[in-house]
Chains A and B, each alone.
Chain A
Amino acid sequence: MRFRVAARNTAPMHILLAEDDAETAALVERGLADAGHKVTHVADGDAAHRAGDAADFDLAVVDRMLPGVDGLEVVRRWRAAGIRVPVIMLTALGSIGDRVAGLEAGADDYLVKPFAFAELSARVGALLRRPPLAEAPTRFHVGDVTLDLLRREVRRGAREIRLQPREFGILEQLMRNAGRIVTRAMLLEEVWGFHFDPQTNIVESHLSRMRGKLNEGFDSDPIETLRGVGYRMRGGD
């Protein structure tokens, strides 16, 4: 199955933001609006629950500690009611147990406060276009790069490129999110399963090796480095 990534500027998405801290909410709301999304902001759990029930959101950003019904319970109720909106949970609680609880309640991603807006934005982008499981592609094609998950095979043009497993994992994440930023933390989570940031930049060394193999004999680099934020695979054919 071939999966072509759509152009970067698609139709605006409708995002529900449930956050009781006015300042954080204003920052997030402005950032998401700048990225072209329509944002509905609610400040407590009951309102969040009702809003999620009433309208069809493309994504919800839910603070874990909401007044009234807490964020975990809101997501749990949505899931129980069959509302499958992708959820990013924001929290000031960063322990291992808290993260597990958040994911078990049905959140798709979990971001610990304080966070860089670029991190939230990248995760919103990744979740918004995550295809439903049933349509999960096994083959990605971005520019002249092709990645086949089943055959563990990467080609650029006609040339086969041999990658180490971690390098393959990084390229897979970049291609799944072609045209969008993938942060270092996202790569650490997805490729290594680490929810902490090692002092040594293992992502960078693997990425630069992978990039070297990918670009050998080519003039253009399909991977962009955004300093301090992450990486992006140039989308579109």
Chain B
Amino acid sequence: MTEKRRSAVYRIAFIYSGAFALAVALLGVLVYVAAERALRGEQDLALGEATAALERSYRTEGYAGLIDAIGERGSTNGVVTFGYALFDASGRKVAGSFDLDLPPPGYSNVAFRDPVEGLDHARALTTRLDRNLSLVVGIDSQVLERLDRLILSLFAGVLVLILAIGAGGALVLGSYLRRRLDRISGTAQAIIAGDMRRRVPVSPRGDEFDQLGIALNLMLERIARLLDNLRQVSADVAHDLRTPLARLRAGLEAALSVDDPAAQRAAIAKAVEQADATLALFGGILRIVEVDAGDVRQGFVTVDLTALAEDLVDSYAPAVTDKGRTLACDIAPGIAVPGDRELIAQAVINLLDNAQAHTPPGTAIRLTLRAEPGIARLEVADDGPGVAAADRARIVERFVRLDRSRAAHGHGLGLNLVDAIARAHGGTLAIEDAAPGLSAVLRLPRI
């Protein structure tokens, strides 16, 4: 219960049903007061009419006529019970069945002795007919009282019912909301405990909780990606930077023990080369981290992809030709994407570099740019030996070189950077089978 008292969900549900019950109670009081006032008005009106009729009988037919009139009127008029009494100047009752003491003139609430029920309450109108005679006409309040009681008990019943339904509803609503929230906080707890893979369960209804869940899951996805990235970078640095540094160190150490200045020079030159390669590797990792972090989005402008692709093909064709391959293109006009020109250029260049580095001379490389609905599709395909289906997804990963012995073929970051750049632009990189050869397809959201 303490838990429930602390729970905002239960608190809100209970306060809400309490407020609703209070409103109903207030309505009950208003109805009661209004009904009372209306019925009392009716009562007084009926008393007035009866008194006026009797007074008329007295004035025209005298005392005997009055007694007759009282007898004729009888004691009942529908559901309302009337009582009549005549008093002399000394206040003694001289006629009538209404058993009470002489009330003061005018309307008053009186007590009378009912032959069946004993002492009872009534509304009475006392009129002086002349110096010796006072007429009292009364209406038994019983009906009114019964009506009042009925209204009160009705509202009391409804109130209890509302409180019961409200409390029940609050409990049901509270436990429902709690259950939905518990799913979210359960996920958070699991993640705190180290299970980074947990996600908030989302129902197909798509209500507010589901939307919150979806947003949280997207956020978790992003965080997980950054964490993975960080973990990967640490692992990469530990593994792939150590190796060239160890080689560099060994080379320098060996150079120290040689006396031949020419050999030393060569060793130093080699060391500088190795240091440069290591720095390039390091720069490559940092570049990917930078692109993955997403800050580059701030510098996005409209990039004319058609012009950029044509430009890159022009820039690359001579180098490709020099290496004994061919570069052809098929570029659709007027395609623009929001992005960073240099990053997109680097992505395309990496794809072109890749197509060259892993194919034999004589390979035909083809760059195709097409507009698809909402998407710019840039493909770099070759008709070289291709990549086995099992390896195709893997080559996008960082530091994956299918042939580890051929270290000359880059540092294994190229496609990973392309993938990071594609993602930073809200696009994708797909490695497909060009049958024969390999096809890398870059899809970027188009303007």
Within 8 A of B (CB), among A82-97: 94-97
Asked if B318 lies at the interface with its beta carbon under 8 angstroms from chain A, I say yes
Residues of chain B at interface, number, CB under 8 A: 33
A94 touches B286 (CB 8 A): yes
B residues within 8 A CB of A165? 314
B286 touches A95 (CB 8 A): yes
Interface 9-residue window, one of A66-74, A174-182, A204-212: A204-212
Contact with B along A80-121 (1 / 0, CB 8 A): 000000000000001111001000000000001010000000
Of the candidates A100, A198, A201, A208, the one having the most CB atoms from chain B within 10 angstroms of its own CB is A198
Asked if B342 lies at the interface with its beta carbon under 8 angstroms from chain A, I say yes
Q: With A96-B299, A194-B345, A196-B287 in contact, is A201–B319 under 8 Å at CB?
A: yes
A residues within 8 A CB of B283? 94, 112
Of the candidates A95, A197, A202, the one having the most CB atoms from chain B within 10 angstroms of its own CB is A202
Asked if B139 lies at the interface with its beta carbon under 8 angstroms from chain A, I say no
Closest to A198 in B: B349
B299 touches A97 (CB 8 A): yes
Interface 9-residue window, one of B22-30, B36-44, B91-99, B351-359: B351-359
B319 touches A114 (CB 8 A): no
CA distance A195 to B342 in the complex (A): 8
Chain A nearest CB: distance from B311 CB in Å?
8
Asked if B58 lies at the interface with its beta carbon under 8 angstroms from chain A, I say no
Contact with A along B238-260 (1 / 0, CB 8 A): 00000000000000000000000
CA distance A200 to B356 in the complex (A): 9
Asked if A199 lies at the interface with its beta carbon under 8 angstroms from chain B, I say yes
Interface size band for A: 20 to 34
A199 touches B357 (CB 8 A): yes
Within 8 A of A (CB), among B313-363: 314-316, 318-323, 340-343, 345-346, 349-350, 352-353, 356-357
Asked if B298 lies at the interface with its beta carbon under 8 angstroms from chain A, I say yes
Chain B nearest CB: distance from A104 CB in Å?
12
CA distance A195 to B290 in the complex (A): 15
Chain B nearest CB: distance from A228 CB in Å?
9
B residues within 8 A CB of A199? 350, 353, 357, 410, 414
Asked if B46 lies at the interface with its beta carbon under 8 angstroms from chain A, I say no
Asked if A3 lies at the interface with its beta carbon under 8 angstroms from chain B, I say no
Closest to A113 in B: B279
Asked if A217 lies at the interface with its beta carbon under 8 angstroms from chain B, I say no
B residues within 8 A CB of A197? 280
Asked if A164 lies at the interface with its beta carbon under 8 angstroms from chain B, I say yes
B342 touches A196 (CB 8 A): yes
Q: With A94-B283, A195-B342 in contact, is A202–B296 under 8 Å at CB?
A: no
Asked if B295 lies at the interface with its beta carbon under 8 angstroms from chain A, I say yes
Q: With A192-B315, A196-B346, A206-B315 in contact, is A95–B353 under 8 Å at CB?
A: no
Chain B nearest CB: distance from A73 CB in Å?
21
A166 touches B342 (CB 8 A): no
Q: With A96-B342, A195-B342 in contact, is A200–B296 under 8 Å at CB?
A: no
A96 touches B296 (CB 8 A): yes
Asked if A193 lies at the interface with its beta carbon under 8 angstroms from chain B, I say yes
Chain A nearest CB: distance from B416 CB in Å?
14
Q: With A197-B280, A209-B318 in contact, is A95–B414 under 8 Å at CB?
A: no
Chain B nearest CB: distance from A168 CB in Å?
12
CA distance A118 to B340 in the complex (A): 30
Chain B nearest CB: distance from A163 CB in Å?
12
Of A95, A164, A194, A204, which is within 8 A of B319 by CB? Answer: A204
Q: With A95-B286, A199-B410, A201-B319 in contact, is A194–B342 under 8 Å at CB?
A: yes
Of A114, A164, A194, A202, which is within 8 A of B316 by CB? Answer: A202
A residues within 8 A CB of B346? 194, 196, 198
Closest to A166 in B: B315
B residues within 8 A CB of A95? 286, 290, 295
CA distance A97 to B296 in the complex (A): 7
Of B287, B295, B343, B353, which is within 8 A of A200 by CB? Answer: B353
CA distance A7 to B318 in the complex (A): 34
CA distance A222 to B131 in the complex (A): 149
Of B287, B299, B414, which is within 8 A of A100 by CB? Answer: B299
CA distance A194 to B356 in the complex (A): 20
CA distance A237 to B314 in the complex (A): 33
Chain B nearest CB: distance from A202 CB in Å?
5
Of the candidates A97, A164, A205, the one having the most CB atoms from chain B within 10 angstroms of its own CB is A205
B353 touches A198 (CB 8 A): yes
A residues within 8 A CB of B319? 200-202, 204-206
Chain A nearest CB: distance from B109 CB in Å?
90
B299 touches A202 (CB 8 A): no
Chain A nearest CB: distance from B320 CB in Å?
8
Closest to B353 in A: A199
Contact with A along B271-291 (1 / 0, CB 8 A): 000000001100100110010
A residues within 8 A CB of B320? 200
Of the candidates A96, A196, A200, A201, the one having the most CB atoms from chain B within 10 angstroms of its own CB is A200
Of B280, B295, B321, B350, which is within 8 A of A97 by CB? Answer: B295
Cβ contacts A to B, 27 pairs, < 8 Å: A94-B283, A95-B286, A95-B290, A96-B343, A97-B296, A100-B299, A194-B342, A194-B346, A194-B349, A195-B342, A196-B342, A196-B346, A199-B350, A199-B410, A200-B316, A200-B319, A200-B320, A200-B352, A200-B353, A201-B319, A202-B319, A204-B319, A205-B318, A205-B319, A205-B321, A206-B318, A208-B322
- Chain A residues with CB under 8 Å of chain B are 94-97, 100, 112, 114, 164-166, 192-202, 204-206, 208-209
- Chain B residues with CB under 8 Å of chain A are 279-280, 283, 286-287, 290, 295-296, 298-299, 314-316, 318-323, 340-343, 345-346, 349-350, 352-353, 356-357, 410, 414
With A96-B290, A200-B316 given, can you name 18 additional A-B contacts, CB distance below 8 Å? A96-B296, A96-B340, A96-B343, A97-B296, A114-B279, A165-B314, A192-B315, A193-B341, A194-B346, A198-B350, A199-B350, A199-B357, A200-B323, A202-B318, A202-B319, A204-B319, A206-B318, A209-B318
